[in-house]
Structure 1
């Protein structure tokens, strides 16, 4: 017979209860006034920045949940690795320390709140799009992240959509799921609420496992379910969640709709290799078939689709180590990479910023890079290209040839490209040698691909 979870009274008296308060102190926190010129605004939005590293991560929480529910990721990225990352967490409108507008709103408005906040914090400059943000959104937060990707694609270096959906299916299982969401608002007593919520968010297998969060056994509960319930009790003590605020968020989530063409636009503008979609296989909150919707819009090529078998709605907790590792891998491979392309007729200028330090520039004629490098997506005009930058040997990329040359140089940071021509990137070549007679443009495309795998 399986062990019964502790009651709320037993949890509050348990010696492990205090271990749920991690007391993670932010490097910076406060209220930012958002929605100043929008319906329902202005209102103060509470935010915290944990860590002071150069890599910026924006964490967007889900329905009715405060910023502190990211604490496992805040601890790892914002404290254990505080010199590498700056983690921005915040209370969405209507939750915690952030005020609630009185009007109905959509996820687009919630995403615009994030844009306002990022501008106030000077994390972005809308006049100078640079891909320097890693956006992670879970559940409703994943819906907001999709809207954010449509609003500021030029600023997003990676996009991770977790336990979410581009739209809510109008099928019988989905309608049943939403009925259960609504019944969660029906009072059943605190013990009944905690039981109901834990069953909706986690797998039964995980809930019944022993709690092993702390090295000291005295600071652990009998079950993982007890750990979650205690965490929820503590959160309710510290966080205000009004019925109005919760319902307005729920309505916004229900109205969220992103078509396949909009998802395709996100994938194209952000870059397929910069996107990860994550879902628990037995998620009851947003059932797994919603995960499949992304594939028809984002496509299959380049996107990372990560499924946690036997996991519920919260892989950020149930599979914490693997979840953090997957995020860190994506962040590492995309940090500091931008793809800005200026089109003139007939000249093309491509600029790629790697590691927020090294600038790579190149001019070419006659051909665009887009067919060779699909990640280049942002097109603007008005950039002056240098004259006399012409190479008649503009041939299709030859990965093996250029890769071999790059390996021979041993100087990937700053290399001479053709004698006397300095571009701070590329490969050392000699046009008089037949084996090296391929265009500078071709070499550059391959060099960028090399640096992406190397950075």
Structure 2
């Protein structure tokens, strides 16, 4: 497809709707990692006030998970509470240049420090979900606190890096993620890696998750729970500015994050470094499954994932042996955006299954 330029996207009347202004029930900055090269301030939010505690996002900024935050923490905020953190290096958290400080185990420890701080410490109380780097962090959260995991959902992720092609192809993939490039080039290349071209070219679908208008401010943004969900986002209407393609809508969010300095070149390098260092062997995954309980674990991967080939997901499935696993035909790297309504339904079913193991 022919991609529009950043200038064209930012001039679009829907550009200001790319990042939703969802008002959290709680938020703060927590200093963590004093013995791990810090302290660093970690930005966190809780959306919703329900009894089911969801730890989501993990490897992305809070804005990337906004469709799930809205679904679980606002539309269903009387049933769920959603804890979001910006990892060190992204979002509103500190972004130090500290090579030793960026590991998936360290990022998991940061997350658990926040969970401790907000009082989410009960056994079998955390419903943890993460994709890509977030899935690697989620694996480490489960390793460090297996008794606190109620459900673990991993998607589009891997247990460790293994060659899925020639060494030249794999080296090129790693270099492509880390090499300096313009924002214009970076956004287009990531789009091609993460999403099927047919989805990028398609018009955004209307579902129960809609784009926020520019009038959605902190005073009118969704409040969690309650009859009618006072202040919830408006339904789609002809008057509401809308992008013509999924690519435009996704790219607008990426551009907005860069403009707000929520994503920096140093932060991107550090996130790539953390992912490259992640390495769990078959025995470690077996132990993780034993400690958490395989009946609590879901793994899914798209067979059209260009960012993290499905063969890496199959390794995770084979060695972790989750109770439920899915290889989804035609799905790319980011089901949170590409198949939002379906994906939210999968998570909701998994988090609330009546057959959930006893505590």
Deviation at 1:94, TM superposition (A): 1.1
The aligned residue for residue 119 of structure 1 is 116
Counterpart pick for 2:160 among 163, 167, 175: 167
8 Å contact from structure 2 (residues 299, 317) kept in 1: no
Q: Scaled by the length of structure 1, what TM-score is found?
A: 0.68
Q: How far apart in 2 are the matches of 1:153 and 1:117? A: 16
Larger relative contact order (C-alpha < 8 A, sep ≥ 6)? Answer: 2
The aligned residue for residue 285 of structure 1 is 307
Give RMSD over aligned pairs.
Answer: 2.1
Deviation at 1:295, TM superposition (A): 2.6
Counterpart pick for 1:294 among 283, 295, 316: 316
Query: In structure 1, the residue corresponding to 2:41 is in which secondary structure?
Result: strand
Write the mapping of 1:264-413 to structure 2, written as runs, cut at 5 A: 264-299=286-321, 303-333=323-353, 337-339=357-359
Query: In structure 2, the residue corresponding to 1:26 is in which secondary structure?
Result: coil
When residues 208 and 178 of structure 1 are mapped into structure 2, their CA distance, relative to the original with a 3 A threshold, is farther
Q: How far apart in 2 are the matches of 1:185 and 1:153? A: 32
Deviation at 1:173, TM superposition (A): 5.2
Deviation at 1:176, TM superposition (A): 2.5
The aligned residue for residue 123 of structure 2 is 130
Counterpart pick for 1:11 among 9, 12, 20: 9
Deviation at 1:187, TM superposition (A): 5.1
- Structure 2: unaligned runs, 5 residues or longer: 211-235
Q: Does 1:51 align with 2:48?
A: yes
8 Å contact from structure 2 (residues 257, 263) kept in 1: no
Deviation at 1:158, TM superposition (A): 0.2
The aligned residue for residue 103 of structure 1 is 99
Cα shift readout 1:216-267 (whole Å, capped 9, x = no counterpart): 3552222111111112112222243333332222122111111111111121
Query: In structure 1, the residue corresponding to 2:205 is in which secondary structure?
Result: coil
Deviation at 1:89, TM superposition (A): 0.7
Write the mapping of 1:232-251 to structure 2, written as runs, cut at 5 A: 232-251=254-273
Write the mapping of 1:30-45 to structure 2, written as runs, cut at 5 A: 30-36=28-34, 38-45=35-42
Cα shift readout 1:150-193 (whole Å, capped 9, x = no counterpart): 11111100000111001111343576255234334545544333
Deviation at 1:335, TM superposition (A): 9.1
Deviation at 1:200, TM superposition (A): 1.3
Q: How far apart in 2 are the matches of 1:81 and 1:55? A: 10
Deviation at 1:333, TM superposition (A): 1.7
8 Å contact from structure 2 (residues 146, 292) kept in 1: yes
Query: In structure 1, the residue corresponding to 2:99 is in which secondary structure?
Result: coil
8 Å contact from structure 1 (residues 131, 337) kept in 2: no
Write the mapping of 1:144-293 to structure 2, written as runs, cut at 5 A: 144-172=137-165, 176-177=169-170, 179-186=172-179, 188-213=181-206, 215-216=236-237, 219-293=241-315
Q: How far apart in 2 are the matches of 1:80 and 1:115? A: 26
Higher Cα Rg, which structure: 1
Query: In structure 2, the residue corresponding to 1:278 is in which secondary structure?
Result: strand
8 Å contact from structure 2 (residues 296, 357) kept in 1: no
Deviation at 1:194, TM superposition (A): 2.2
Q: How far apart in 2 are the matches of 1:99 and 1:328? A: 32
Deviation at 1:331, TM superposition (A): 0.5
Q: How far apart in 2 are the matches of 1:71 and 1:196? A: 23
Q: Does 1:76 align with 2:71?
A: yes
Deviation at 1:207, TM superposition (A): 0.6
Deviation at 1:5, TM superposition (A): 3.1
8 Å contact from structure 2 (residues 164, 311) kept in 1: no
Number of equivalences: 328
Q: How far apart in 2 are the matches of 1:303 and 1:16? A: 42
8 Å contact from structure 2 (residues 159, 280) kept in 1: yes
Q: How far apart in 2 are the matches of 1:298 and 1:26? A: 35
